[in-house]
Amino acid sequence: MSFTNRVFAGIKPSGDLHLGNYLGAIKRFVPLQETHECIYCVVDMHAITVWQDPKILAQSTREVAAAYLAAGIDAKKHIIFNQSQVAGHAELAWIFNCVARMGWMQRMTQFKDKAGKNAQNVSLGLFAYPSLMAADILLYKATHVPVGEDQKQHLELTRDIAAKFNNDFEKDFFPLPEPIITGAATRVMSLRDGTKKMSKSESSSLATIYMLDDEDAIAKKIKKARTDPEPLPQNFDDLENRLEAKNLVSIYAALADISPQEVLNQYGGEGFGVFKPALAQLAVEKLAPMNKEMRRYLDDKAQIDEILKDGANRAREIAKTTMKQVKDIVGFIS
Ligand code: TYM
C-alpha cells in the first residue's frame, strides 16, 4: 500500500528551547516543507508526564509555536498546532497501550534515565509516553519523522507498534514511519561536559544556549565552553576522543550548513582562541534574528493561539478519518 509523503514531528513545551532542539529538530523541519506535507506539533500532553506549572505550560507552548514560526515554518501551507486540542492523540494512544507489550516499554532507555532510582514514584504517563508518541505519528499516517538521535529508540518502538497493529488487525493499515536523523548536529552536547547531552535540565547555565538568549549570552557561553589545549586537527576523525572540541565543530557545521570536515578544512591547525570567536560570531548571526522574530510573535499571544487553533482544526480533520477507520478495525461501534 502507498501512503502520502507526510512528515510529523513534535517538541515538548517543558522548559526553554535550546540549541539542541534547534539544530537537532526545528532547523531540519524547515526544508521538508518543500517536499512533504508537514505537521509540526507542540506536544503539551507529553510535557505533563512530569509536573508542569499550568501558567508556565501555556507560555512554553506558545514559545515552541513561536520558534516554529520564527524558523520559517509556514502555518498556512502546513500545520502547526498543540496536541491536546486534538482528542485523537489520546484515543489512539489508549489503543496502542493495548497493542504495545510491557517488555517493549521497559526497554526504553529514556524512561530509565528519567525515572532513575525513582521508578516507583514517577507518573504512569512517563512510562506510557512512547505509546502516545507512536499515536502522534500514526494518527496522521506520517511516513517520515525528523528527530534528534535521542528519539531513535522511540521511533523504533513506533514501527513495532505499527507492525503489530497491522499484523493483529489489518495488513498495511499503518505505514512504518522512517526516522530522519541527518546532519552534523543530531546530538548536541553540553558546553560544559562533552559526555552529556545538551538539555533543558542541565544545572550549569553556561552549559546550554537557549533560543531566547541574547547576543551577549550566546557569545559568553561559547567563550566559556570547555575545550582542551590542542589546536583543531585537519581530520574530523581525529576528534573522536576530544568530545568538547568535536561538539563545537559539529555546532559550527550545522549552523553554517556545511560538513564538520569542511569546518576543519578551514580551521584545522587553529587553536580555540581563533575558533571560538568565529563560532560565537556565526551563532549570533544565525540565532539573533530568530530570537528577535520569536519575541515578536510572543508579544502577540492572541495571534499564536489563533494559529494553533486553526492548525488543530485542520489536524483534527485528518485524525478523524484515521480514528473512524481504527475504531471499525478494532470493533468499536462509532
Ligand atoms: P523533546 O521535546 O525532548 O525534543 C524535541 C526535539 O529536539 C531534539 N533534541 C536534540 N537534538 C540534538 N541534540 C540535543 N541535545 C537535543 N535535545 C533534544 C529531540 O531529538 C527532538 O527531535 N518525545 C519527543 C517529542 C515527541 C515527538 C513526537 C517527536 C512527541 N511525539 C512525535 C517526533 C514525533 C521529545 O521528548 O522531544
In a domain, 250, yes or no: yes
Question: Per this entry, what is the length of the chain?
Answer: 334
- As for how many domains the chain has, the answer is 2
Residue 55 burial by Cβ neighbours in a 10 Å radius (0-12, 13-18, 19+): exposed
Distance CA 278, CA 329 (A): 57
Residue 273 Cα to ligand 1 middle (Å): 33
pLDDT at 115: 87
The atom of ligand 1 lying closest to the CA of 142 is 34
**Active-site hit among 164, 200, 220, 320:** 200
- Cα separation, 36 vs 78, in Å, equals 9
Catalytic residue status for 200: yes
Whether 181 and 236 map to the same domain: the answer is no
Q: What is the largest CA-CA distance in the chain?
A: 69
Q: Are residues 106 and 65 in the same domain?
A: yes
Q: Which pLDDT score is estimated for 116?
A: 87
Residue at 138: amino acid letter: L
**From CA 203, how far away is CA 184, in angstroms rounded?**
25
pLDDT of residue 202: 67
Q: Which residues pair with 189 in a beta bridge?
A: 197
Q: Which ligand 1 atom is nearest residue 18's CA?
A: 17
Instruction: Report how far apart, in Å, the C-alpha atoms of 183 and of each of 148, 149, 202 are.
Output: 10, 11, 24
Q: Is residue 289 part of a domain?
A: yes
Question: What single-letter amino acid sits at 142?
Answer: A
What contacts 177, CB < 8 A, 6 or more positions away? Answer: 8, 137, 138, 142, 143, 144, 145, 155, 158, 159, 162
Q: Residues 158, 134: contact at Cβ < 8 Å?
A: yes
- Cα torsion 54, 60, 65, 70 to 10°: value is 160
Same domain for 141 and 220?
no
Q: Grid coordinates in use for 301?
A: 499571544
CA Rg value for the chain:
21
Q: Establish whether 196 is a catalytic residue.
A: no
Grid cell of 251 as nine digits = 555546532
248 with 313, same domain: the answer is: no
CA 252 to chain centre: 19
Nearest atom (ligand 1) to Cα of 189 = 15
Domain assignment present for residue 18? The answer is: yes
Q: Is residue 51 part of a domain?
A: yes
pTM: 0.97
Mutational test site, ligand 1, from 127, 129, 147, 197, max ligand atoms within 8 Å of CB: 147
Same domain, 27 and 111: yes
In a domain, 191, yes or no: no
Distance 266 CA to ligand 1 centre (A): 31
Q: Quote the ligand 1 centre to 212 CA distance (angstroms).
A: 18
Task: Count Cα atoms within 13 angstroms, Cβ side, for 63.
Answer: 21
Going by alpha carbons, the residue nearest to atom 4 of ligand 1 is 11
Cα 11 to averaged position of ligand 1 atoms, centre (Å): 6
Least Cα distance to 177 among 195, 192, 155, 149 occurs for: 155
Whether residue 255 lies inside any domain: the answer is: yes
192 domain residue, yes or no: no
Could you tell me which of 162, 164, 153, 174 has the C-alpha nearest to residue 105? Answer: 153
Residue-range definition of the domain harbouring residue 177? 6-186+301-330
In a shared domain, residues 238 and 219: yes
- Secondary structure, 3-state, 237-282: HHHCCCHHHHHHHHHHHHHHCCCHHHHHHHHCCCCHHHHHHHHHHH
The single-letter DSSP state of residue 190 is P
Catalytic residue among 114, 152, 164, 320: 114
22's grid cell: 534547534
3-state percent helix, strand, coil for the chain, nearest multiple of 5: 55, 10, 35
Contact between 207 and 191 (Cβ < 8 Å): yes
CA–centroid distance, residue 255 to ligand 1 (Å)? 18
pLDDT in tens, the chain (334 residues): 789 999 999 999 998 999 999 999 999 999 999 999 999 999 999 999 999 999 999 999 999 999 999 999 999 999 999 999 999 999 999 999 999 999 999 999 999 988 888 889 999 999 999 999 999 999 999 999 999 999 999 999 999 999 999 999 999 999 999 999 999 999 999 999 999 999 887 667 899 999 999 999 999 999 999 999 999 999 999 999 999 999 999 999 999 999 999 999 999 999 999 999 999 999 999 999 999 999 999 999 999 999 999 999 999 999 999 999 999 999 999 8
C-alpha cell of residue 194: 562533552
Residue 203, domain member (yes or no):
no
131 and 222, same structural domain? no
Give the separation between CA 327 and CA 334, rounded to whole angstroms.
7
- Co-location of 220 and 178 in the same domain: no
Pocket of ligand 1 (CB under 6 A): 8-12, 20-21, 24-25, 43, 46, 133, 136-137, 145, 147-148, 150-151, 154, 186-188, 197-199
